[in-house]
Amino acid sequence: MDTMYWKDNTLFLLDQTKLPIEVTYVKLKTYEEVAEAIVSMKVRGAPAIGAAAAYGMVLGVMGFRNDQNLDNYLRNVYETLKNTRPTAVNLFWALDRMWKKYLEVKNQNFEEIAKALLNEAKSIFYEDIELNKKIGAYGLEVVPENASILTHCNAGALATAGYGTALGVVRAAFAAGKLKRVFADETRPLLQGARLTAFELLEDGIDVTLICDNMAGYVMSLGLVDLVVVGADRVTANGDVANKIGTYSLAILAKEHGIPFYVAAPYSTIDLNLNSGKDIPIEERNPDEVRKIGDRLIAPSKVKVFNPAFDVTPAKYITGIITDRGIVRPPYRENIKKLFGGN
């Protein structure tokens, strides 16, 4: 199942807010529609947001009218897409890559510019699948035989261009015959674990057991988890990791139980411009996401809510970061720089 595809100058996006009940694609023809789809989380997951935004730039350039200044117009498209979600750095990485391509070709004729931007968006998309397969291959090294892996949120095919990061490791382990089962945290408030991870693993015939977020500690205490693998929205220069809210608690639980805790992420998630996790902007979302499940109110409609979408796991809790260039281990600042200092 494709997270998104490009056809007839249109971005077809799998509407993840409807999964697993309905499998439907929305047809996006303008960059504003792409921005809305990112904000409303029809598309979500760091690499998938980046790829969608790249296609959003293409739709932007296709909507250009000759009476405008192309530089100013496209900068506005860039800013609109940039202001959708603040935490996953892949969004800014993809937009910057598209902008760089634009600067390279801006003196060519309009058709050439549009073609070059479309090719760049397609490269971002297809490269991501390859990066995830590399993550999977490197990750295999840390997966013991007959492994039970616990994961949080959805860092799978649905969160990327395909294959997944954390679920890329799961898929590689499954293909190698090393996987016993996966525990998927449901991941309140928006239930990416229940709705998306459970769905995509079942589709692939992978043994998955759903648990509520507050069951993870007990499941670990029973000796049912061999390792934890999660995705990332941003990794800073010192190895701190922003990921879906609840990741931090899992990392501490894993440490207490002596369970290895791995983060899987492509190079596009690494942000060397930020010194530590304290510098990462954490998105706060609509309080109704906590007051409700789906459309149904589960709390007094006026109760105060705090709804951060992500948290930061300090590097000291992370056993290793599985990337497309290999597994990074402590000391993180030094080793991240060695692998990613060049770009």
- Residue 108: CB minimum distance to ligand MRU, A: 34
Q: Closer to ligand MRU by CB, 84 or 238: give it.
A: 84
Give 241's strand partners: 235, 313
User: Is residue 45 a known part of a binding site?
Assistant: yes
- Residue 285: CB minimum distance to ligand MRU, A: 8
Q: Closer to ligand MRU by CB, 45 or 56: give it.
A: 45
Three-state secondary structure call for residue 246: coil
Question: Is the Cα dihedral 94, 159, 166, 234 positive or negative?
Answer: positive
User: Is residue 277 a known part of a binding site?
Assistant: no
Q: Closer to ligand MRU by CB, 181 or 244: give it.
A: 244
Chain residues binding ligand MRU by CB under 6 A are 44-47, 88, 153, 155, 159-160, 165, 192, 231-233, 243-244, 309
User: Is residue 65 a known part of a binding site?
Assistant: no
Amino acid at 196: L
**In angstroms, how far is the first alpha carbon of the chain from the final one?**
32
Q: Closer to ligand MRU by CB, 120 or 128: give it.
A: 128
What CA–CA distance (Å, rounded) separates 90 from 175? 28
User: Is residue 192 a known part of a binding site?
Assistant: yes
- Residue 266: CB minimum distance to ligand MRU, A: 8
- Residue 23: CB minimum distance to ligand MRU, A: 18
Q: Closer to ligand MRU by CB, 45 or 60: give it.
A: 45
- Residue 312: CB minimum distance to ligand MRU, A: 12
Q: Give all strands of the β-sheet with 208-211 in edge-to-edge order.
A: 208-211, 179-185, 147-151, 227-230, 261-264, 320-323, 326-328
Helices 31-39 + 46-62 axis angle, to 10: 160
User: Is residue 239 a known part of a binding site?
Assistant: no
Strand runs (DSSP E) across the chain, as ranges?
A: 4-7, 10-14, 25-28, 147-151, 179-185, 208-211, 227-230, 234-236, 241-244, 261-264, 270-271, 292-293, 296-297, 310-313, 320-323, 326-328
Of the candidates 233, 240, 311, 324, the residue annotated as catalytic is 233
What CA–CA distance (Å, rounded) separates 291 from 179? 37
User: Is residue 296 a known part of a binding site?
Assistant: no
Q: Is 324 a catalytic residue?
A: no
Residue nearest ligand MRU, Cβ-based: 231
> Which residue ranges make up the annotated binding site?
44-46, 85, 192, 243-244
> Which residue ranges make up the annotated binding site for substrate?
44-46, 85, 192, 243-244
Active centre residues (catalytic) = 233
